[in-house]
Amino acid sequence: MIKHIVMWNLLGDSAAEKAANAERLKRAFEGMRGRVPGMRTLEIGVDISRIDYACDVVLYSEFDSRQALDDYANHPEHLRVRRELEGLRIARHQVDYEVA
């Protein structure tokens, strides 16, 4: 199994604008649930700490295999979400790791 974790910082000149962008991102990714073969889990979390070094949103997902994760990268649902959210992020961090 592969775990895929992505964290973003989002655009927003105010707390309200950042919150709206985080909700938009959350809804977009949640719309992929059950539509990507090999994706076991998809969870989106919006930061509540508001500490200055925290990311705004985190995606936690699990895939059956490295191939399933690779296929997700080019899956039409994922590409749709990427297009829908284009320009929304100001930073992105990712970690993928294998669990035996």
pLDDT tens per residue across span 76-88: 999 999 999 999 9
Query: How sure is the predictor about 8, in pLDDT bands with cuts at 50, 70 and 90?
Result: very high
Q: Look at residue 61 in the predicted model and tell me its pLDDT.
A: 98
Pair 71, 35: CB distance under 8 Å: no
CATH class given for the domain over 2-98: alpha beta
Angstrom distance (rounded) from CA 6 to CA 75: 17
| Greater pLDDT, 100 or 9 | 9
- pLDDT of 100 above 90: no
% of the chain residues with pLDDT over 90? 96
Radius of gyration from C-alpha coordinates of the chain: 14
Cα dihedral across residues 12, 91, 99, 33: positive or negative: positive
The answer to whether residue 50 scores a pLDDT higher than 90 is no
pLDDT digits (tens, 9 = 90+) for 88-98: 999 999 999 99
Q: Report the predicted TM-score, pTM, of the whole model to 2 decimal places.
A: 0.92
Task: Return the pLDDT at 92.
Answer: 96
What pLDDT is attached to residue 72?
98
CB contact at 8 A, 57 and 10: yes
Q: Structural domain boundaries of the chain?
A: 2-98
